[in-house]
Structure 1
Amino acid sequence: MKLNVNSVRVVRVRGKRARDHLHSNSMSSLNTARALYLCYFGVREPLVQTQVVPYLRELAAGGLRVHLLTFEAQNIKTWPAEERAEVRARLAAQGIEWHALRYHKRPTLAATVYDIVRGAFAARRFVRRERIDVVHARSHVAAAMGALATRGTRARFLFDIRGFFPEEYTDAGVWPAGGYLYRLTKAAERRLLAAADGYVVLTEKARQILFPDQASTNGRARPVAVIPCCVDLTHFRAAEDVAREAVRRELGVEGRRVFVYVGSLGGWYLTDEMADLLATAHRQDPRTFSLILTQSPPAMITDRLRARGVAERDYLVRQIKPTEMARYLKAADVAVSLIKPCYSKQSSSPTKMAEYLAGGLPIICNTGIGDLDELIETDRVGVLLREFNEASYLRALTEVAALLHDPDLPARCRASAAARFDLTSVGGARYRRLYEQLLQSGRDERKSVRA
């Protein structure tokens, strides 16, 4: 089943009491609405620059007045004055007014609780002073702030769930399954789900788990949107003018079949299995070249490749800027993404998948990650690994080699990216529709309260 660009559903969950109506100036469009976005990350972090600011820019372009509250590991008063001014000016140019609080790390639980309380008080002041219509909270910690800040106010509370936070910590081995922190976080999650007026999840699988169609109660209807991690396709369209052969010549990979990997190594990302796959590809076809674009220590992959018999001349590990990625992908033939398949990863939408497809590349990836199984098979843009062994690797390599003979493959990959992951037509459009539904639900509540 292909995902609809307007994939916003309305579900019923156990609810809180109806709130007061939105302020009298709220209209069906976003032109007079105000939002406060709560983000428990620093404004300079790559995640914020790629998966927060672009969406806020889209909302601001739709007429919404946007405030962004981030948590900075370093007190911004200690930043160079010109850097603070540059960040504020850059965000302001995109329609975003930036505010910051200090992030506290230790002791872990106490520091997080302190940040939640402080963030909630700050957010509540914003709600009252700026007459905020929607408090938009990214993930669970920020959502705790949002729930406290909006309680008893006219503002709507949007819980942007992102992933299965408690399960991610247990799947990663950080928390014991069923332990105190897991149970505490799950209890908090239930309260946050009950408190929210609307929801965002990254995958259709996550929506089915958290908000199945049969999950109907006597509570009021609230919208839930499926919004995957999107990318700005304009960067990749600009790279279309770059000559593929020029990039390949620069990298010294003319005549090679280039496998590319973009992103972190270790943790959720199965570096050993990726090294096995790449080594198998090198043995099967000596023309194979592995291009690894990562900010992680190069030895995390080079040691593994060498141990598997891959010569130094047959791989390159490089750190690049995000703005350079589209250009480097021009040199590649096949992209790779192997992620630990576990329960929590059903909620994941890896940004690298959207980037690969936008670059016109077929993907070798494993099953069990978000909606990728359906995407790969329906759009015919790659190969799924169902096991991590040599027989499975050889099958995948044979299948992707057959795909590469299809002259329509690059265009099909780009079309898949445009239909599923375009920042403007998918991400921005779904967020705008969700905001409009939240504002409308406020007006409907006002009518029901008055009746």
Structure 2
Amino acid sequence: MAAIYVVPFLKGLSMEKGEGGCRIWAQVNPTSQSSSALFITYDGLLDPLGGSQILPYLYRISDHPRRLHIVSFEKAYRFRSGERALRKVLEERGIGWTPLKFTSRMGKLGKMWDLFRMYATALRLQRRYRFGIVHCRSYPAMQVGCFLRRFTAVKTIFDMRGLWVDDRVEGNLWPQDRWLYRWLYRYYKRLERQLLECADAVVVLTDRVVPEIRRLAPGMHAPVAVIPCCADFDHFSGISASEKLVVRASIGIDKDALVISYLGSLGTVYLLDDMFRLFETVARQRDDAHLLLITRDWSPQHDAYLGQSSLAELRHRIHVRSADRDEVPRLLGASDLTLSFRRPTYSQMACSPTKLAEAFALGIPAISNAGVGDIDAITRALDAGAVVDLNDPNAFEAVSRELDSILAKGGEQLRHRARECLGLERAKHAYRSVYAQIEGLP
């Protein structure tokens, strides 16, 4: 998610953009709130994340039943191709949608402009619909939610998603050797506490982060709900044995090969080198081992790196495929085992990788590294694979020796075990409880 750099508190005025620019109204009347909800996100519904982790949740929330309206920021090229189809689906479900254009230029000024429009749009919609709840996905949206709560008495849900401020620093998006980003870090850490103390309910992704957010905001009064990143088990329903062979053949992988997969981004938080090292350890011992990378981030630089590394002679066993959401189940389903290695930093205690829920939905066990979110506990509870200590120099050799027993953990039984705690049904019931609690319903 892109950064937001300022907080323009508008001191009780709502603003609506008319033909001649922005008109200013008096303070919104805080009375007569409805049972409807406004959902605000700086991510796009048409982004890959929107399709996997926003829309499936919103469809469940709208089933409560409750009138739901969404404000999102859409990339222009995706909006042009996908707006009509998505709007039709949302209308059929009775969900309102106010898409705003994501500003991809002008750097920090563009983010300031986006935040201003987020404030103005939310105020205009609140004046019109008198929402009873504002559901805010991550920090920028919660800034707007707190403003609405202050001046309209709306209830707020802070759907944190993670420790966003520290995540930006650890990912070097806010390099601390530059004064501006040092200031931003200090500013947003103070703001983080205010956002938590403003919330009527807080949603986080892991049990592990709950004590930490209570430490960060000792004045927080809101109940905390833990809702991990879940998967749509109907979408990730698995593929038949014959279809699996067809997919493998299309990639150039033998039908009896051992296929280890990785799904997702290749950004700074992901330990691609360690995943390569694990694959190399296995591939040196098993001639049938292949690595399937399902990602949109592969670049010529990655190819150059492989060509200059010890993996050069194994390059023919490393396959890269890009996939949209509809294609992922088939590609991922063609693998026998998946990997999820992330840097175990401070902010990662709040992380819940969606890729693991999706793999478990397909009955695919996973090898993950220790110290990230609740992965250690979930893997043990579901008997869903193995967790390795990357500080142990013998960890990969040990995993390679235990590979058959790890593979045996997969299949329909893993899918069944995982569905109860990582299926969208859990998210549906958990969000229903959050909404009912802040509305005072039984």
In which range does the TM-score fall when normalised by the shorter chain?
0.7 to 0.9
Alpha-carbon distance change, 108 to 189 in structure 1, aligned in 2, over 3 angstroms: farther
Q: Distance in 2 between matches of 1:275 and 1:345?
A: 21
For each residue in 1:236-265, what CA deviation from the matched residue of structure 2 results, as whole angstroms up to 9, or x when unmatched?
Answer: 226358643444344432221111111112
Please name the residue that 1:351 is paired with.
354
Alignment length (residue pairs): 407
What per-residue deviation string (whole Å, max 9, x for no partner) do you get for residues 263-289 of structure 1? 112321111111111111110211111
Question: Which of 57, 65, 68 does residue 66 from structure 1 map onto?
Answer: 68
Q: Do the aligned residues in 1 keep the contact of 2:238 with 2:362 (CA within 8 Å)?
A: no
Q: Deviations over 1:173-219 (max 9, x none)?
A: 2224592110011111111112111111111112221137x9876x7
1:47 to 30, 37, 49: 49
Equivalences for residues 354-433 of structure 1 within 5 A: 354-387=357-390, 391-404=394-407, 406=408, 409-423=410-424, 425-433=425-433
Aligned mates of 2:264, 2:116 — CA distance in 1 = 34
Tell me: CA distance 1:122–1:215, structure 2 relative to 1, closer, same or farther (3 Å): closer
Distance across 1 between alignment mates of 2:151 and 2:73: 25
Higher mean alpha-carbon deviation, 221-230 vs 339-348, is at: 221-230
Distance 2:318 2:31 in 1: 58
Using the TM superposition, give the Cα deviation of residue 393 of structure 1 relative to its aligned residue in structure 2, in angstroms: 1.0
Contact 2:72 2:100 (C-alpha < 8 Å) held by counterparts: yes
Query: Does structure 2 retain, via aligned residues, the 8 Å contact 1:298–1:317?
Result: no
Question: Is the 2:259–2:336 contact (alpha carbons within 8 Å) kept by the matching residues of 1?
Answer: yes
* Aligned AA (2:325): P
Rounded to whole Å, the distance in 1 between the matches of 2:201 and 2:144 is 15
- Pairing of 1:197-236 with structure 2 (within 5 A): 197-211=200-214, 221-236=221-236
User: What is the CA distance between 1:22 and its match in structure 2?
Assistant: 7.1
Q: Measure, in 1, the Cα distance between the counterparts of 2:77 and 2:242.
A: 41
For 2:254 and 2:95, how far apart are their aligned partners in 1?
Answer: 43
Paired residues of 1:229 and 1:349 also in contact (CA < 8 A): yes
Q: Distance in 1 between matches of 2:403 and 2:379?
A: 12
Contact 2:369–2:387 (Cα < 8 Å) also in 1: yes
Q: How many Å apart are 1:434 and its aligned residue? A: 0.4
Relative to the length of structure 2, the TM-score reads: 0.84
Q: 1:104 & 1:215 partners in 2: Cα distance?
A: 32
Equivalent residue, structure 2, for 1:170: 169
Query: How has the CA–CA distance of structure 1 residues 243 and 85 changed in structure 2, closer, same or farther, with 3 Å as cutoff?
Result: closer
Q: Decide whether aligned partners of structure 1 residues 109 and 319 sit closer, same or farther in structure 2, where only a CA change above 3 A counts.
A: closer
Q: Output the amino acid matched with 1:55.
A: Y
> Secondary structure at 1:115's aligned position in 2?
helix
**1:340 counterpart letter in structure 2:** R
TM-score of the superposition, structure 1-length normalised?
Answer: 0.83
SS at match of 1:151: helix
Distance 2:139 2:430 in 1: 21
Map of 1:125 onto structure 2: 124
- Aligned to 1:136, the other structure's residue is in SS state strand
What is the CA–CA distance in structure 1 between the aligned matches of 2:132 and 2:240, rounded to whole Å? 41
Point out where structure 1 has 5 or more consecutive residues left out of the alignment. 1-19, 27-32, 444-451
Q: AA paired with 2:127?
A: R
Measure, in 1, the Cα distance between the counterparts of 2:286 and 2:300: 24
Q: Report which stretch shifted further, 57-66 or 230-239.
A: 230-239
Could you tell me which amino acid in structure 1 is paired with residue 229 of structure 2? C
Structure with the bigger RCO (C-alpha within 8 Å, sep 6+) is 1
Q: Aligned partners of 1:240, 1:22: CA distance in 2, in Å?
A: 56
Match of 2:286 in 1: 285
Change (3 A) 1:243 1:34: same
CA distance in 2, matches of 1:299, 1:75: 24
Aligned-partner residue type, residue 135 of structure 1:
V
RMSD: 2.7
The AA in structure 2 aligned to 1:91 is: L
The residue number in structure 2 matching 1:34 is 36
Among all aligned residue pairs of Structure 1 and Structure 2, give the percentage whose two residues are the same amino acid.
Answer: 30
The 1:390–1:132 alpha-carbon spacing in structure 2 relative to 1, beyond 3 Å, is same
Equivalent of 1:186, from 178, 184, 189? 189
Amino acid at match of 1:400: L
Higher alpha-carbon deviation: 191-200 or 40-49: 40-49
Which secondary structure does the structure 1 equivalent of 2:231 belong to? Answer: coil
Q: Which sits farther off after the overlay, 277-286 or 320-329?
A: 320-329
| Per-residue deviation, 1:109 | 4.1
Asked if 1:253 corresponds to 2:254, the answer is yes
Q: CA offset at residue 47 of structure 1?
A: 1.1
Residue identity matched to 2:411 = P
1:329 aligns to 2:332 (yes or no): yes
Letter in 2 for 1:164: L
Q: Measure the CA separation in 1 of the matches of 2:353 and 2:160.
A: 15
Moved more, 278-287 or 89-98: 89-98
Contact 1:242 1:327 in 2 (8 A): no
Does 2:244 align with 1:244? yes
**Contact 1:259-1:290 at 8 Å conserved across structures:** yes
Q: CA deviation at 1:136?
A: 0.7
Cα distance in 1, alignment partners of residues 395 and 31 from structure 2: 56
